[in-house]
Chains A and B, each alone.
Chain A
């Protein structure tokens, strides 16, 4: 696969049809890279992803962080040369309430200046790091992994090393159509920065 990041390996993982993709979705808490036109709104950006309907964004996504700062408005423009967007369902605690979008307790936030809008904005496509937390991971992660996503190799490697049992029962993994075992995948992930990852159920084995 080739895009502005250059040649990126594609890792395909096929899980048995009796398995579930849900345990793999936790990978998305570290974030996926999504290519976007410059300065999209949060709503427009998320709306391009599978399952992110207007209703879902309005009602389910209760907490949004853009470049480490809480966001109250889905129409907020995503600025910066390497923006980071994190989305979550409702969070507990006073802290959760303070960071909740348009929350009653928002005045208790620390005021921090967002200087990302001062950066020179590129007219070219930008890569947005999108992190999924809380219920959003399990509710939307499966479709993202099924369709495939760009993700940092380091994240995948750490996930595989932390939870190797998840990969013991999978059908052989392949990278750019070349079959690989666990160790070979780990080695491959050491050599690259970003991988295009697809995790799908193996309907061929039915």
Chain B
């Protein structure tokens, strides 16, 4: 089955199946969503208007047996940042979409008369159905209803009440293999799908399979690739403690933003650490290891149960725990898990919303450390869409503007996640220059030297640091196109068999002859495409900056400040 583009027009409720334009054929995942958005969305359009388009794409290897290849990319012009946006997630949707022979879904236009719809995707294309039953429902109830209606094996991409209310921090929820959910968290893409009048997309591959050009080569490459992942020590830590293993060490470095970025260390860090979380999960019959999609061999996810040993949340990540914990000065992991559950149910980004609440705490809306108050804010204000709730649901930037707070940790209006750029400068460069607003996953720990983008300048100079960050972002953009989880990066950094095996997988899947240089060029092309879109939308180098307070306020314990000049940062785009 040759892959196709499935197009949906919500204005006239029409659908079509299209051949893939030659320029798009080599893309998948982020590369494809960004290429389509750049090609078809007017950069200056309103993100919640009819001219924006919502694009979903599985990765190049999604739907195959390749280990860790089940990431789903969603893209659009972001209502939060105003930039191009890609947000990706685990769950079952990417693999099922690929098995439908769907290279990408493009949702355009806007439904009329406040009528809500769902989109049913099969190998035969997309059917648009009017939807009433799950409108207004929280995500968990909606998923239960839909599992009953559609069966448990169909993939679901849905928005929660936040997306229906078009909050700028609204996310997309993607059903995972257990019937719970994962999130395309960042950038407000839930609001974009909501603006189209689409509540959810269901995916039924009806037995479809992904074709592999050379099965023997693919099998051999996958064996090498999976082994490199399983054997790596970071994979062991992730499978034991999850990403939350970072709390203690980032705290030790003085880079754990605390109380809305006023300190780099949190007194209660050990009560919210990955080590503590591991023990609580074991005590309560949760799962320490868990996969967010079939074929994941790292299994960094987990199932966190409450004190009564009942499911509370899964995929309980460091960045969410940091944001709800240290940034709001809350040291109760159960309370943080409850908040995470509510955020998942509302369908809103747990980083953006929690950072927004940290800013609100500074404004005096709540006391720092008031966990019960935080839960009340989420359930009584955000979930119900009150005035205050909509300000918080608009993200940290909106809260800062509404309450006159100057310490607002955002870049391009997207909240800075869990690593203080004053204490960890390399991440600050990524925050400043990312095409997507502040995002720690945009410049990951990729073996840039293996991809032929190793640094050529003294890495200890600022120029060298910018160059290294650029190379990380180029390599990350390429990996994001494959459908691979970014956590393959650790093995890719250390195991010389890993990246070649990944390239072999791509070649065996499509019967082509990619080289490392081709992959690097793909990454460069994606970054340039995204940057060009942002420039056409009105962004300039002046937007590639960290907030002023990072240069004015030293952060304890090291009294570090952000000291990159604009000129130094601007060299990022010299390629």
Contacts and interface: CB of A to CB of B under 8 A. Distances in A.
Interface of A: 23, 26, 29-30, 60, 62-63, 65, 68, 70, 86, 88-99, 104-105, 107-110, 112, 131, 133-135, 137-138, 155, 158, 162-163, 165
Nearest to B241: A134
B250 A95 contact: yes
B445 A97 contact: yes
Contact of A162 (B271, B444, B493): B271
Interface in B303-327: 318
A99 B246 CA distance: 11
B253 A91 contact: no
Contact of A92 (B234, B282, B419, B464): B234
Contact of A94 (B245, B254, B271, B440): B440
Contact of B234 (A68, A86, A96, A109): A96
Contacts of B425: 108-110
Contacts of A94: 419, 426-427, 430, 440, 443-445, 472
A96 B418 CA distance: 12
Given A29-B273, A89-B237, A107 B249 contact: no
Nearest to A63: B249
Given A68-B252, A94-B427, A89 B233 contact: yes
B151 interface: no
A65 B493 contact: no
Given A60-B233, A95-B427, A104-B447, 14 more contacts: A23-B283, A29-B248, A86-B252, A89-B237, A90-B233, A92-B246, A93-B246, A93-B440, A94-B444, A105-B468, A108-B465, A110-B423, A112-B560, A134-B248
Contacts of A162: 271, 276
A92 B252 CA distance: 15
A107 B468 contact: yes
Nearest to B236: A135
A90 B493 CA distance: 12
Interface in B205-251: 232-234, 236-238, 240-241, 243, 245-246, 248-250
Interface in B255-281: 255, 270-271, 273-276, 278-280
B279 A163 contact: yes
B460 interface: yes
Given A135-B237, A163-B279, A98 B245 contact: no
B424 to A, nearest CB: 6
A21 to B, nearest CB: 12
Interface string B276-301: 10111011000000000000000010
A82 to B, nearest CB: 14
B85 to A, nearest CB: 20
Q: Number of contact residues on B: which range applies?
A: 35 or more
Contacts of B440: 93-95
Interface of B: 232-234, 236-238, 240-241, 243, 245-246, 248-250, 252-255, 270-271, 273-276, 278-280, 282-283, 300, 318, 419, 422-427, 429-430, 440, 443-445, 447, 449, 459-460, 464-465, 468-469, 472, 487, 490, 493, 557-558, 560
B237 A91 contact: yes
A107 B464 contact: yes
A133 B249 CA distance: 7
Contacts of B237: 89-92, 134-135
14 contacts: A86-B248, A93-B444, A94-B444, A95-B253, A95-B424, A98-B424, A107-B459, A107-B460, A108-B427, A112-B558, A133-B249, A134-B241, A134-B245, A137-B275
A137 to B, nearest CB: 6
Nearest to B557: A68
Contacts of A90: 232-234, 236-237, 490
Contacts of B445: 93-94, 96-97, 105
B99 to A, nearest CB: 30
Contacts of B250: 95
Contacts of B558: 68, 110, 112
Contacts of B472: 94
A95 B465 CA distance: 14
Contact of A110 (B236, B271, B276, B424): B424
Given A86-B249, A90-B233, A68 B254 contact: yes
B249 A96 contact: yes
Contacts of A26: 275-276, 278-279
B275 A29 contact: yes
Nearest to B238: A92
Contacts of A91: 234, 237, 245-246, 249
Contacts of A110: 422-425, 558, 560
Contact of A65 (B234, B253, B278, B422): B253
A197 to B, nearest CB: 16
Most buried by B among A62, A99, A108, A163: A108
Contacts of B422: 110
A100 B245 CA distance: 14
Contacts of B273: 29, 133
B493 A108 contact: no
A92 B469 CA distance: 17
A29 B279 CA distance: 13
Contacts of B464: 107
B224 to A, nearest CB: 21
A22 to B, nearest CB: 8
Given A29-B270, A70-B253, A135-B237, A92 B487 contact: yes
Nearest to A93: B246
A65 B250 CA distance: 10
A107 B557 CA distance: 21
Contacts of A109: 424-426
Nearest to A158: B271
Nearest to B282: A23
Contacts of B557: 68
B424 A65 contact: no
A108 B245 contact: no
A112 B232 CA distance: 30
Given A92-B243, A110-B423, A165 B465 contact: no
A155 B273 CA distance: 14
Counting from the closest, the 7 A-B pairs by CB-CB distance are: A108-B426, A107-B459, A97-B445, A90-B233, A90-B234, A65-B252, A133-B248
A139 B426 CA distance: 31
A131 B460 CA distance: 29
A99 B424 CA distance: 9
Contact of A131 (B232, B252, B282, B300): B252
B249 to A, nearest CB: 5
Nearest to A20: B282
B86 to A, nearest CB: 18
Nearest to B467: A107
B493 A97 contact: yes
A137 B447 CA distance: 29
B207 to A, nearest CB: 37
